[in-house]
Amino acid sequence: MPSSLLSPDSSARQRSHDLLEQFPELAEVPGFPQARILTEYVLGRRSGELDASGRATDGTFVAAEVVAGLPHEMLVVDDAQGLQSRLLSQIAPVRTYNDRIDEAHTVAEVADRTSPIDDLAAFTPERDEVWAVVNAPKATHALAETIAAIQAHVSTIIVIGRSDSMSRAVNKELARGYARVDVSPGVGKHRMIIGSRPLSSPSLPTYPRRSTIDHPATGVLQVRAHGACFSGIKSDEGSTALLTALAAETNSGEPQAVEAIAGPSKSVLDLGCGNGWLLSAALKLMPAATGVGVDVSKAAAASAKETAEANGLEVETILADATDAQALAGGHDLILLNPPFHQGTTIETDTAAGLMRAAGELLAPGGQVFTVYNSHLDYRDTLERVIGPSEQVARTSKFTVIRCHSR
């Protein structure tokens, strides 16, 4: 694959090279290749050397007055390292949105010339010609909700990602809102899929999605999920295993057993609450308890709140890093943990370890922590070390559920 969208003698390539040379420290940072491709694309479009697809115009007439200065404003969505935002802000005014607040903090530090926004649904452009860069999410629904939120205000959406992860579903979602969809040439391991010419009557989905989850311990519960929320409108297998074990420990709701885990006026905390189904289900088992859900994702925090409301429950949802106990209030009698163990396709256990430490700090005297994890990870020793005495309450070939008691 070519190493650049632009030809070696391109004036836009020289401008891109000059810009990148101002930030030599970025060249080795993960995410730099995609930031460089975007820089080349914008400068190539602005000079008339590239068409909407990112291919050379090859002498095709392009009116200089039409392309000069484009875009007037850019919106960069889910730029995890902040490199795209930093480089593009040297070319045009940039506003940023990140679903994860830890990534939003990174962008604010790396790209301090940009302006963050908190809610895509409330995005209002400040200039006429707005382009958006969307980093290809793992879930198609995350992309679909992003497009639905900004299509009315954005003339061009550039979805960028690794070539091997850019499926036809991206084309399909862009085609719901744009008359033209182009696939760029691949550059290294990356490419763009670009939507332009916004439709006046788009066929865009609405969010949150709605469904139900049926579990023997609680019956049918409503569930709501925004696009970027982990597990969507389904219950992931780990949460199902945890609830099954919790229900068994409370003898399916007998008052004396419920009282032992979370009696009247006690608190249930879900660290990493996702769509909120597990928290709502736990509160159905323990109707006198109050519920708190914490998640680093804006989509998850909103989903958990709406799931609880749909089930006639009132919970507090906190947008925060659930591994940071200092940012949260303690004194919870029952804490639920279903820690992630993948970052993309890579096994990653640091987040799980952080959640366990936070649970130990946030647990009330006499409280309990129920943790589910993939059995091959064997977190039992860590749980006992950072929380307290533990016992296995359920185990299959896939999942293990451990109950820990406060020291």
Q: Report helix, strand or coil for 267.
A: strand
Closest residue by Cα to residue 207 from 232, 182, 244: 232
User: What is the model's pLDDT at position 58?
Assistant: 81
Please report the DSSP string for 363-376 in residue order: EEEEEEEEEEEEGG
Global pTM reads: 0.93
The string of pLDDT tens digits covering residues 154-177 is 999 999 999 998 999 999 999 999
Q: Catalogue all structural domains in the chain, each as residue range(s) with its CATH number.
A: 11-198 (3.40.50.150), 209-405 (3.40.50.150)
| pLDDT tens profile 368-380 | 999 999 999 889 9
Q: What is the pLDDT of residue 346?
A: 46
Q: Which two tokens stand for residue 297?
A: 């994702």
117-168, pLDDT tens digit by residue? 999 999 998 888 999 999 999 899 999 999 999 999 999 999 999 999 899 9
Share of the chain above pLDDT 70, in %: 92
| Model pLDDT, residue 7 | 92
**Phi-psi label, residue 232: left if phi above 0, alpha if psi -120 to 50, beta otherwise:** left
In total, the chain counts a number of residues equal to 407
pLDDT in the model for residue 128: 84
Q: Are 371 and 362 in contact (CB under 8 A)?
A: no
Question: Per-residue b/e over 324-362, b at no fewer than 16 CB within 10 Å?
Answer: ebeebeeebbbbbbbbbbeeeeeeebebbebbbbbbbeb
**φ, ψ of residue 134 in degrees (nearest 5):** -120, 120
Mean pLDDT of the chain: 92
Q: What are phi and psi of 288, to 5 degrees?
A: -85, -10
CB 12 within 8 A of CB 50: yes
- The number of helices, as runs of H, and strands, as runs of E, in the chain is 13, 18
What's the token pair of residue 207?
A: 């969010």
